[in-house]
């Protein structure tokens, strides 16, 4: 196909093709792209004609891409990234007049402990923008970035897509939350003897804290797993339960209530909270503004009230 032939190709079809390859479901693609399902189905038919391939085949209740479709995706994605980046760099960005929609992925601890002051600043500078937050962790972040469902994410991260970039925001020191009224900090024996609550997005009842405890030959007893940090305030108050949480989540949880936060009675290796973003948005003026604000407000040291 020469350059003149490209005039026959609808760029919107290629965007729909990419979404179909990631979602593999017509309804989800329709929701993601704000289209009707019949329109997505019609677009799939046109894509099949364009590429002379079925592209997606029924497999039980789901759909699976053909080998040809996956090969096309591998060739098409880098080109679409380049086009998207070129268009983005051509746009000026004025926060005061912008009506852009920003899609951010965040782990629950970052959303609960660090997002509120960031949001206040974003709304002050850019009152017309829309911010959509998606729940993300180190497992979900690569897929959300690769599919374009988010442009930037904040979480503890491990593997990322090849074109993604990453910046460390801060270390994640831990604090022990407690809601009892006994004086003095917990000893290691008391810490291990107490029942523990744990925030677990996946439902697991062990994590890095248990690995650090194992280094000193100890274990803990987790009696409660919850999916988000906001519930800990009511759950711990007036009980013997304790929870070990990132310092910024502890700062938000102790504010205005009877909970208190103290240092753990054993060494905990601090993980890192990072900001990750797709390389295609690296030079986008709007995204650069957003990332600068995330870095500014999510890297700040916190003043946690002493026990």
The average pLDDT across 171-190 equals 93
pLDDT in tens, 245-264: 999 999 999 987 889 999 99
pLDDT in tens, 162-177: 788 999 999 999 999 9
Residue position matching structure tokens 């060739």 = 75
Residue position matching structure tokens 């402990």 = 113
Is-above-0.85 flag for pTM? Answer: no
pLDDT in tens, 136-155: 988 888 888 888 889 999 99
pLDDT band at 302 (very low <50, low <70, confident <90, very high): low
Specify the higher pLDDT residue, 292 or 74. 292
Quote the crossing angle between the two packed helices 67-89 and 285-298, to the nearest 10°.
90
Could you tell me if 13 and 46 are in contact, meaning their C-beta atoms sit under 8 angstroms apart?
Answer: yes
């Amino acid at each position: 196909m020469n350059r003149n032939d490209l005039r026959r190709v609808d760029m919107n079809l290629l965007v729909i093709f990419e979404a179909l390859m990631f979602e593999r479901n017509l309804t989800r693609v329709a929701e993601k792209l704000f289209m009707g399902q019949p329109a997505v189905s019609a677009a799939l038919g046109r894509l099949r004609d364009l590429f002379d391939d079925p592209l997606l085949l029924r497999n039980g209740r789901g759909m699976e891409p053909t080998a040809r479709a996956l090969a096309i995706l591998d060739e098409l994605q880098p080109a679409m990234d380049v086009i998207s980046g070129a268009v983005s760099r051509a746009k000026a960005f004025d926060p005061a007049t912008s009506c852009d929609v920003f899609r951010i992925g965040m782990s629950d601890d970052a959303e609960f402990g660090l997002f509120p002051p960031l949001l206040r600043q974003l709304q002050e500078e850019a009152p017309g923008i829309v911010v959509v937050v998606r729940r993300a962790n180190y497992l979900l972040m690569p897929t959300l970035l690769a599919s374009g469902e988010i442009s930037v994410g904040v979480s503890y991260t491990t593997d990322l897509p090849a074109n993604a970039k990453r910046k460390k925001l801060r270390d994640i020191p831990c604090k022990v939350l407690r809601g009892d009224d006994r004086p003095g900090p917990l000893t290691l024996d008391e810490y291990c003897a107490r029942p523990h609550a744990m925030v677990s997005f996946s439902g697991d009842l062990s994590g890095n804290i248990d690995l650090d405890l194992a280094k000193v030959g100890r274990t803990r007893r987790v009696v409660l797993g919850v999916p988000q940090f906001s519930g800990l305030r009511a759950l711990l108050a007036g009980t013997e339960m304790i929870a070990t949480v990132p310092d910024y989540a502890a700062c938000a949880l102790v504010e205005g209530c009877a909970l208190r936060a103290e240092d753990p009675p054993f060494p905990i290796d601090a993980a890192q909270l990072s900001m990750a973003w797709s390389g295609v948005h690296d030079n986008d003026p709007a995204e650069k503004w957003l990332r600068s604000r995330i870095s500014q407000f999510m890297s700040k040291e916190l003043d946690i009230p002493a026990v």
